[in-house]
Chain A
Amino acid sequence: MSLLDMIGPVMIGPSSSHTAGACRLGLVAHHLLGEAPRRAVIGLHASFAKTGRGHGTHLALVAGLLGYGPDDPRLPRAFEEAEAAGLSVEFRDVDLGDVHPNTAHIELHGAEHSVTVQGSSTGGGVIRVTEVQGLGVNFSGSSPTLLLRYADAVGMIARVASTVAADGVNIAALTCTREARGGRALLAIELDQALSPEALAFLNRWPDMNWVRPLPKLMDG
């Protein structure tokens, strides 16, 4: 949390948790999809479902899916912009269990790929992403984050970490989850700086690597 997060974000109202944070959750899905979004199914939990519509939560989520930041003047027109961009969105009220009351589950499809993201808006525009592609993660988007899906194997984390180190980038935090031994795994790495395109391309070429997505820093500070 930096000074620019205390005085900020610059945002379209009304609520930093229901609007700015919701927009940032949409942005996570936007960046992880990595192509133009075509169809989204958004599950809204508890307070997001109950008071979201009046707070513009629906608009903010869709704005994020389109790649707009919390201060984008197009945010209040996000539904029209989505229609023009060929993105159809369906909202559902869902019970996601014992999670933060401001939580959304986003399923986003493009022409080639799909991504699912679950995350909470915890106040002041701050978010916490708790699930990507059905696997548990724990990051805030306050620094560039690298997400990787691969088949679990001995030494994968060490190989990824040494690639990041060779790129001159420092790791701030790392979470790894796998479905089962030898099953699909998800690695989320929060970095001090974004990885170079060359390093990303190198990771992408590994045969056991299914999916590599760089998420830019989403906070101001």
Chain B
Amino acid sequence: MTTLEALMNAPAPASAWVLAQDCAETGLNPDDVRAEMARRIGEMRASVERGLRSDARSITGMVGWNAKGLWDAPDVLGAPLLRRVQAYAMAVNEENARMGRIVAAPTAGSAGTIPGALLGVADHLGLPDERLVDPLILAAGVGKAISKRMFISGAAGGCQAEIGSSAAMAAAAVTELLGGSPRACVHAASLALMNTIGLVCDPVGGYVEVPCVSRNAFFAVHAVSAAQLALAQLESFIPPDEVVGAMASVGRLMPAELRETAEGGLAQTPTGLAVTARMEGREETGGMIELPMA
């Protein structure tokens, strides 16, 4: 049974243990999994690059220019890592919203968090993509351990289950990339999760655009922060598996209106309702919906 506790106490590097465990379970060949993960890093990078260049609008017209806008803007805070991580994350989700090709990680709505954090940190430090294969395997292992106790979709557990999981996965990956122990990697994941509990899934009109695109930017930074804390030996006071249990429990307590139904939160603001009405009014037109926003 893959638990965060078992992962935390695994021999270093944590990713090697995760890969061996998973291949024993699925019968897949470890070299094939590593090769496929390397290909997926290439896919993530391609989606970042396309997303940073394009300002084409998404299906609904609600997003599409944010990543490029940030990437082209001056770095007013003198925080190039921060801007890079945010722009990469939004680039992936905007690419997703305009029906571009992305890697769901673990879902499409949360697809920007891992590339934002992992590729963003690697590029900031000048590390090659080959170094990212093992951290990505660890990210997958953390996601798998979470999914054993908790659904990873917003519809099942709120956004905490979706972007909370991706942030935890990204935090562990960045920690391993920077040389953290298995214990530090799992505590990074736990710290990231602790701070997402209760997060609702309230997509405007039901589409993974608002607040999802900016939320991926925030949570990619959140993951990097968690890695920084864990690399400085800070730990989650509540044991990591108990944090996952708490998140599952909050997910069950959360009303359906706050779990991807577009019946609560931002989706029910006057603007959210207007977007929903306009989208539903165009159901019969077929094909893609053109919805220029005011």
Contacts and interface: CB of A to CB of B under 8 A. Distances in A.
B156 interface: yes
A13 B102 contact: yes
Interface stretch (B177-185, B205-213, B220-228, B231-239): B205-213
Contact of A123 (B107, B139, B287): B107
Contact of B99 (A7, A56, A101, A124): A56
A81 interface: no
Contacts, number: 146
Given A8-B103, A54-B60, A220-B36, A13 B22 contact: no
Nearest to A220: B36
Contact of A54 (B28, B36, B279): B279
Interface residues of A, number: 38
Given A3-B33, A17-B153, A123-B151, A10 B105 contact: no
B103 A10 contact: yes
B117 interface: no
A221 interface: yes
B107 A16 contact: yes
Interface stretch (B70-78, B81-89, B141-149, B188-196): B141-149
A51 interface: yes
Interface string A52-90: 011110000000000000010101100100000000000
Contacts of B106: 6-7, 124
Most buried by A among B106, B136, B147: B106
Contacts of B67: none
Interface stretch (B5-13, B90-98, B119-127, B244-252): B90-98
A125 B40 CA distance: 16
Interface residues of B, number: 59
Interface in A2-35: 2-4, 6-17, 19-20
A84 B269 CA distance: 43
B22 A10 contact: no
Contacts of B288: 54, 56
B104 A221 contact: no
Given A14-B207, A16-B109, A221-B28, 17 more contacts: A3-B141, A4-B36, A6-B144, A6-B147, A7-B37, A7-B103, A8-B104, A12-B102, A14-B208, A15-B207, A50-B206, A50-B280, A51-B262, A54-B206, A54-B279, A123-B151, A123-B153
Interface of A: 1-4, 6-17, 19-20, 47, 50-51, 53-56, 71, 73, 75-76, 79, 101, 122-125, 192, 220-221
15 contacts: A2-B144, A3-B18, A3-B140, A7-B140, A8-B103, A11-B101, A13-B97, A14-B99, A20-B108, A54-B206, A55-B59, A55-B206, A123-B156, A220-B36, A221-B28
